[in-house]
């Protein structure tokens, strides 16, 4: 990996990590579509997972009191069932095609929720389990598991603090769970570790930037920003 590509990785990860601190999602949604333009998905996906681990750990420690443990358990357990299948897809299938299809679907769903979200589900547990299955598959195959989680949170109108903390904790758990599968499939290559070296400083700066910005975002702005993250990620996935 040349230094020009390394600087590009740094810039993309910095922007995505800063946004992650505000909404709880954004690290993978925005960074992966932009990064696969410059690097193979088999480098970007495990690389961004490794880069995310210290950021997620710091944020979970910071926000631990706001984590909804029941929702987190439903999401994490159901997701874990699909991680092995997602890892196989990453190693064997053209993830660019998969990513474009996911991106288009997320744009449509996000806009529908803003226009006419409807009332929250009265039985949330099945919805959490279903979203967890989808998110687990996406986490391992593309690392972009955020859109279905963000859309569920918006639909259910979770309070921003609870929303943010629970989603960040979920990302941390599922990222750590994915690593052994990447290792088994020989996806943690020297180029992946170069990616990590460029990404880690950006994550450190993004952590403090996101913390500063989070206190300055209202509930209404949070909802629109969260939707914007999904739409921007979807557009990037479709167009890049």
**pLDDT tens profile 88-129:** 777 776 656 666 666 666 666 666 656 556 788 888 899 999
pLDDT in tens, 189-219: 899 999 999 999 998 898 888 778 776 766 5
Least confident of 22-31, 76-85, 131-140: 22-31
Give the separation between CA 49 and CA 177, rounded to whole angstroms. 10
Select from 29, 27, 28, 32 the least CA-distant residue to 44.
Answer: 32
Domain ranges of the chain: 3-239
**Structure confidence at residue 155 (pLDDT):** 83
- % of residues, the chain, pLDDT over 90: 15
Helix (H) or strand (E) holding 100: helix 95-115
Question: 38: helix, coil or strand?
Answer: coil
pTM: 0.73
- 9, 199 contact by CB (below 8 A): yes
Q: Has residue 168 got a pLDDT over 70?
A: yes
Whole-Å CA distances, 128 to 11, 94, 121, 141, 169 = 33, 28, 10, 20, 15
Rounded Cα–Cα distance for residues 146 and 14 (Å): 18
CA distances from 57 to 171, 209, 233 (A): 10, 16, 23
- How many other CB atoms sit within 10 Å of the CB of residue 116? 7
The 10s digit of each residue's pLDDT in 63-94 is: 889 999 999 999 999 988 988 887 777 777 66
Q: What is the dihedral of CA 201, 205, 207, 211, to 10 degrees?
A: 180
pLDDT band at 22 (very low <50, low <70, confident <90, very high): confident
């Amino acid at each position: 990996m040349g230094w020009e590509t390394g600087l590009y990785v740094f810039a993309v990860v910095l922007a995505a990590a800063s946004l992650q601190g505000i909404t709880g999602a954004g690290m993978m949604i925005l960074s992966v579509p932009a990064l696969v333009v410059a690097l193979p998905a088999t480098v970007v996906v495990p690389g961004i997972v490794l880069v995310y681990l210290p950021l997620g750990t710091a944020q979970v420690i910071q926000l631990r009191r706001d984590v909804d443990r029941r929702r987190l358990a439903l999401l994490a357990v159901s997701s874990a069932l699909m991680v092995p299948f997602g890892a196989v897809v990453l190693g064997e299938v053209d993830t660019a095609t998969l990513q474009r299809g996911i991106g288009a679907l997320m744009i449509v769903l996000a806009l529908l929720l803003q226009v006419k979200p409807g009332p929250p589900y009265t039985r949330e547990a099945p919805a959490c389990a279903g979203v967890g299955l989808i998110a687990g598959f996406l986490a391992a195959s593309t690392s972009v598991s955020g859109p279905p989680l963000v859309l569920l949170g918006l639909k259910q109108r979770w309070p921003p603090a609870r929303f943010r903390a629970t989603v960040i904790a979920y990302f941390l758990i599922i990222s750590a769970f994915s690593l052994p599968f990447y290792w088994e499939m020989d996806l943690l290559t020297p180029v992946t570790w170069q990616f990590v070296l460029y990404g880690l400083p950006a994550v450190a700066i993004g952590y403090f930037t996101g913390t500063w910005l989070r206190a300055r975002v209202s509930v209404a702005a949070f909802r629109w920003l969260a939707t914007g993250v999904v739409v921007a990620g979807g557009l990037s996935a479709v167009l890049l």
